[in-house]
Amino acid sequence: MFALPISKGKLALTKFFVLLSFLAIQLLIFSLSFVIAGFIATKIMNVTESIPVLYLLTWTLKLFTTMIPAISCMWAITILFEKPMLSMGLNLLLIIPGVLVANTPLWIVYPYCYSGYVVSNALHTVTATDTGSTLSLFPFIPCAVIISVFAICVSIKYFGRKEMS
């Protein structure tokens, strides 16, 4: 794999973007199936209101952007641990406590719960009597960017060390 005239950092970054494209495809398929099911349900139930497609696309984009830090951490863990079962197990193990961490002040440094936190915050603003959002973008966005950049830098630095040694 490293016989190609390309640096291992560029190859690692390209593979990371392939992961992001898989995430985008998954979210696109989910959104399309949601819209198609909504159209079918509105026709069957004779509902005259239209499906808020723009709203659904906005939420698809929000979910994609909030998953970037988690995907970058998953990619870094996959690079750091050479055994596939260990990296898959560790990534699954880190996803599960996301629900618990999202309910603490530490959610800001745990990228595995970002999407769930944003969705539950939006549900809270819909169901609560006050209309204000409790999501503060200032510590959220810088922390997400720092975590993503750090994880991507780690994965670029350690990518291919098994093949190089």
Q: What is the domain partition of the chain in residue ranges?
A: 8-160
Give the per-residue pLDDT at 99: 86
Render each residue's pLDDT in the chain as its tens digit; 165 residues. Answer: 556 688 888 999 999 999 999 999 999 999 999 999 999 999 999 988 888 889 999 999 999 999 999 999 999 999 999 888 999 999 999 998 988 898 888 999 999 999 988 888 888 777 776 655 667 778 889 999 999 999 999 999 999 776 655
Q: Cα–Cα distance between 69 and 113 in angstroms, integer? A: 10
Give the per-residue pLDDT at 70: 96
Element (H, E) at 12: helix 8-44
Give the per-residue pLDDT at 124: 78
Give the per-residue pLDDT at 163: 63
Q: Cα–Cα distance between 10 and 90 in angstroms, integer? A: 25
Give the per-residue pLDDT at 12: 92
Of the candidates 3, 13, 5, the one whose C-alpha atom is nearest the C-alpha of residue 156 is 13
Written as one string, the DSSP assignment of 20-74 is HHHHHHHHHHHHHHHHHHHHHHHHHTT--SPP-HHHHHHHHHHHHHHHHHHHHHH
Give the per-residue pLDDT at 130: 61
- Model pTM score: 0.86
Q: Cα–Cα distance between 148 and 49 in angstroms, integer? A: 40
